[in-house]
Structure 1
């Protein structure tokens, strides 16, 4: 290359963000349903991490094209759809031993999003920018919706009397499923149509910002390509997580943790793309984008997963345990109270981030050592 010349960018087909999702699908097809040696398990884990990073990239491309708050919905809904497929697959293969898998996975997703993603975003944003600002009206509405969905689907089954144990009767489950869909639909309508400005990033003076000013949005063709590759990457992430699940189960058993912790590990893995995307937005002082991702993911995890599982129970045999245990209900209650105190001012410091991360650490610790 002669002095003064510029290196041409690689064609899209040669970039790692394009190649890794395709490679992950190939690895998934080659490893599915097979007993893998340790070296191959490690290789699958590396490819899995690459697929997660690729998913983050393509989600950001799509989000930048469609703008907020629509962009935050893309990754939340896509991950939730794949999460439902993973839960149903494990329930089919696990029988009665997986009766509480949906509850454990959904509750883990709520704790990871409402404490982990929120806390990490607040901490990273405050460390770089001092005090971070967000729209309290939109974020408060999202937190209220998440709280209602969580109580309706995960707390009430513990106290109902139609079925023995923390379960809904068929009619109660149908009601919870319909109510969850209605609430989620109402929130999406509010977020994207009626009060879209409540969910846009805000400047220090509280004025809503429409778009990032530092870069032009990608073309429609690039956004559609990224959307397709995002779906491919997410399918690969969940599929490879399923391939890795026996190794995860063995590791959990070797550590002496309860088997329910497998759902926590899988939820952590599935939510990693959203976590990385939210962290990046927070470092760019776009905390509202991070909160949209966090609470939108929690909402979709309940509002879409519970109805889908309820529908799947028509064909699945065995019980469906949804009611939380006492320790889990305490953690949920503290998370809601802390979330309200964080959201109401519309401004936060690194202290609020540390508090939410402490709650996440408590959840993980108690999941390992109940």
Structure 2
């Protein structure tokens, strides 16, 4: 027999304590900002570097969580757009921060990070989503019109921004001249803006989830959309988390480069680390959507992130190049161009039928693995 006293006020008091205790998605960004204030401009010992790295990863996860809250409020496909833009802001912040602190050694960082994001999204996230959906429903179904339009835009952006610099002759090496870089930046913004209008206004139905019979899949067990007040709070915390990510990336940048060098990896692998860091939470979100038979949402996330990575990063880097010292090398090498061409061809064959199986998912995952392997062992 339980002899513990039963106080009627005990349960309500415990509930009040639980409500007052901030969740990790609130406390981690705030702790990250505190860590940023304490470590900014100082040499951090190894233990502090580890703590800052954990807070940086937590701030990234918190930022994506709050982006998902806002996305759940505004609905699909706006939700995928919010998440993709939030992730890209993190990526751009990390690139610019590392380039400012790295000098000439980071001349290829923007190229390496953007290309890594394209390969990891178009192959890693797409492949993972198709595998998850294929294991659950045997055949993953999506809208070929919307996904094909996204893939076309990604391929065009990648060619204009990452392939052409290798073949232009105004500057020696894989580098744009100032007018060429300005054109690439304006073209990237124009293409990305046109796609966003298509996705959210003109042809929104192309980007909504579909089931095997072509209709919308049944509603899953999602929680009710957050209130406007909760969405505003998440928007504010998203801004705090992004500030923390930018600042802590500046603090961590020497440690990231030292770790890559200590592992015997080429300096270009830093770009893969950055892309993997910012895309990991999005990969989880895409896999969850695929498990709920919403492959279209997964593909929106993957291709939308690839598109935003180029369409927003290149203009930001073009503006930053005004005060950045040293060259800005954007052109891909032969191995990278082969992988990009293979990705475009395979993705086209995957998207065209509007249906995919485990085989297509496995092919994309293998291409992603080949990219990571060749980045570590060029």
In structure 1, distance between residues paired with 2:179 and 2:98 = 24
Structure 2 residue matching 1:182: 3-state secondary structure: helix
- 8 Å contact kept, 1:13–1:19: no
In structure 1, distance between residues paired with 2:33 and 2:187 = 36
Superposed counterparts of 1:1-40, under 5 Å: 8=15, 10-11=18-19, 14-40=22-48
**Cα displacement (A) at 1:110:** 0.8
**Cα displacement (A) at 1:209:** 5.6
Superposed counterparts of 1:225-304, under 5 Å: 225-304=233-312
Structure 2 residue matching 1:87: 3-state secondary structure: helix
- 8 Å contact kept, 2:220–2:292: no
**Cα displacement (A) at 1:214:** 4.0
Residues 229-255 of structure 1, C-alpha deviations (whole Å, 9 max, x = no match) = 223223323433333332221221112
More displaced 10-residue stretch of structure 1: 332-341 or 23-32: 23-32
More displaced 10-residue stretch of structure 1: 193-202 or 166-175: 166-175
Residues 48-89 of structure 1, C-alpha deviations (whole Å, 9 max, x = no match) = 333233233222211111001111111211222232232222
In structure 2, distance between residues paired with 1:139 and 1:222 = 31
- 8 Å contact kept, 2:57–2:277: no
Aligned residue in 1 for 2:208: 200
Q: 1:220 aligns with which of 214, 228, 231?
A: 228
Structure 2 residue matching 1:303: 3-state secondary structure: helix
**Cα displacement (A) at 1:23:** 1.4
Alignment partner of 1:57 is 2:61:
no
In structure 2, distance between residues paired with 1:119 and 1:208 = 22
Aligned residue in 1 for 2:111: 103
- 8 Å contact kept, 1:124–1:283: yes
In structure 2, distance between residues paired with 1:279 and 1:51 = 21
Measured at CA, do residues 208 and 36 of structure 1 come closer, stay the same or move farther in structure 2, by a change above 3 Å? same
- 8 Å contact kept, 1:82–1:235: no
Measured at CA, do residues 42 and 108 of structure 1 come closer, stay the same or move farther in structure 2, by a change above 3 Å? same
Q: 2:370 aligns with which of 347, 350, 362?
A: 362
Alignment partner of 1:178 is 2:186:
yes
In structure 2, distance between residues paired with 1:85 and 1:41 = 19
**Cα displacement (A) at 1:181:** 0.9
In structure 2, distance between residues paired with 1:146 and 1:101 = 20
In structure 2, distance between residues paired with 1:16 and 1:2 = 31
Aligned residue in 2 for 1:191: 199
In structure 2, distance between residues paired with 1:23 and 1:14 = 12
Alignment partner of 1:343 is 2:322:
no
**Cα displacement (A) at 1:106:** 0.8
- 8 Å contact kept, 1:28–1:240: yes
More displaced 10-residue stretch of structure 1: 245-254 or 291-300: 245-254
Aligned residue in 2 for 1:135: 143
**Cα displacement (A) at 1:191:** 0.1
Which TM-score applies when normalising by structure 1?
0.93
Aligned residue in 1 for 2:126: 118
RMSD, aligned α-carbons:
2.3
Structure 1 residue matching 2:265: 3-state secondary structure: coil
- 8 Å contact kept, 1:67–1:211: no
**Cα displacement (A) at 1:164:** 1.2
Q: 1:78 aligns with which of 86, 108, 114?
A: 86
Q: 1:305 aligns with which of 306, 313, 325?
A: 313
Measured at CA, do residues 127 and 245 of structure 1 come closer, stay the same or move farther in structure 2, by a change above 3 Å? farther
Structure 2 unaligned blocks of 5 or more: none
In structure 2, distance between residues paired with 1:146 and 1:219 = 34
Aligned residue in 2 for 1:319: 327
Q: 2:75 aligns with which of 67, 72, 87?
A: 67
Residues 304-323 of structure 1, C-alpha deviations (whole Å, 9 max, x = no match) = 11111112222223221111
**Cα displacement (A) at 1:155:** 0.3
In structure 1, distance between residues paired with 2:38 and 2:134 = 44
- 8 Å contact kept, 1:123–1:350: yes
Q: 1:150 aligns with which of 151, 155, 158?
A: 158
Which TM-score applies when normalising by structure 2?
0.91
Measured at CA, do residues 96 and 220 of structure 1 come closer, stay the same or move farther in structure 2, by a change above 3 Å? same
Q: 1:91 aligns with which of 99, 107, 132?
A: 99
- 8 Å contact kept, 1:160–1:166: yes
Q: Which has the larger radius of gyration?
A: 2
Structure 2 residue matching 1:11: 3-state secondary structure: helix
In structure 2, distance between residues paired with 1:313 and 1:85 = 14
**Cα displacement (A) at 1:8:** 4.0
